[in-house]
Amino acid sequence: MVTPIRFGPLEKEKNVETPGNKPPPFDDHEGADLTPPGEDFKLYRHKDAQKIRTKNWHGYYWAKRTEEGNYEIRTVPSSLGEPSASGGVFPREGFEDHYDEVSP
């Protein structure tokens, strides 16, 4: 006989927070190094970044088109001194549905 697993009541939903719960420095246009991490990278922002409940998430990514037409993405660090990290390759259709190119 298999004993069913019983779960307790769900915890109240919590917002996801960024480290230190501080706003990213470039939200007020101060201090961020918005230098692209390599040739052909452009700055993109999630179309609904203001609506997403992840507290202080800026929604920015560096991206460039691959030969296949998809997007190679890299992070935009939320604090000075952090390197941009690879985010892999995002399919073109999904990326363009969710992100718009913006000026640094």
Vertex 38 angle, CA 70 and 86, to 5°: 60
Q: Which has the closest alpha carbon to 55: 7, 88, 15, 92?
A: 15
Residue 3 counted as domain residue: no
Confidence (pLDDT) at 73: 96
Instruction: Say how far apart CA 84 and CA 44 lie, in whole Å.
Output: 14
Question: What total of structural domains would you count in the chain?
Answer: 1
Percentage of the chain beyond pLDDT 70 is: 64
Domain containing residue 48: 36-101
Residue 44 counted as domain residue: yes
pLDDT tens for residues 14-58?
A: 555 555 555 555 554 444 568 899 999 999 999 988 787 776 678
